[in-house]
Amino acid sequence: MVDSVSSAASAATNSSSASTSGNSKTMISSDFETFLRMLTTQLENQDPLNPMESSDYALQIATFSGVEQQVQTNELLKALSANLGGGGLSQYGSWVGMEGQAAVPANYDGVTPVTVFPEIDKDASTATLVVRDDTGAIVQSEPIPPDTKTILWSGGEDHEAGLYDFIVESYAEDGSKLSEAQARIYAQIAEVRTDEGQISIVFDSGTIVKASEVSALRDPV
């Protein structure tokens, strides 16, 4: 009798440990009441000549308490994670429709000039702006002063509407290449998404970057 009741109590404890749903608090309360009833039944039906050790009771209660605390901790962590993720989307959601500055291709409309922010190596003696179309072909290459902060690229009659990358090549005094980096431009933000807790920004070109890679925001011009 004692063994069967003890086994039933253990099964009830295992059942509580497996519960991770939104109703876990209700289930824990229900399971604890069941546990107390089983414990009472166990006391009433134990062999008076061979009573159960008090340490065994304490162990059963401690085991159930440990399971209860673990389930509550898991629920708290889930709620915290959901709040952080939801808060992030709410915060960055206002970016949709705005223009963000990042190292992404420019969606040139064939009319509006593109403001380019070149990334030039601090040790460069000379630099070159290389413009590539969406096929990777070079459509323009021109030298720029190493202290250039912004470039207004108008495209010209030869460049149709489409996606263009602006690459800055930095050269040392001896002509050796120091670095090559994609310049930043302002592009419209089309979407904000979260993936495994990471906030990502999707531009109108389809390019996806981390939110931390967006260095500035502005209203559409």
User: Position 153: which residue type?
Assistant: W
pLDDT, tens digit, 9 for 90 and up, residues 14-32: 444 444 445 555 665 566 6
Asked if residue 76 lies in contact with residue 188, where contact means CB atoms within 8 angstroms, the answer is: no
Closest CA to 181 of 128, 112, 110: 128
pLDDT, tens digit, 9 for 90 and up, residues 29-66: 566 677 777 777 876 777 776 766 666 666 766 676 66
Dihedral angle sign, alpha carbons of residues 47, 48, 49, 55: positive
Average pLDDT in the 142-162 region?
88
Q: What's this model's pTM, rounded to 2 decimal places? A: 0.59
Q: 24-45 and 2-18 are packed helices; what angle lies between their axes, rounded to 10 degrees? A: 170
User: Which pLDDT value is given to residue 64?
Assistant: 64
Q: How far apart are CA 72 and CA 68, in angstroms?
A: 6
Residue 108 has pLDDT above 50, yes or no: yes
Write out the two tokens for 184.
């930043």
Please tell me the number of Cα atoms within 13 Å of 21 on its side-chain side. Answer: 7
In this structure, the chain runs to a length of 221
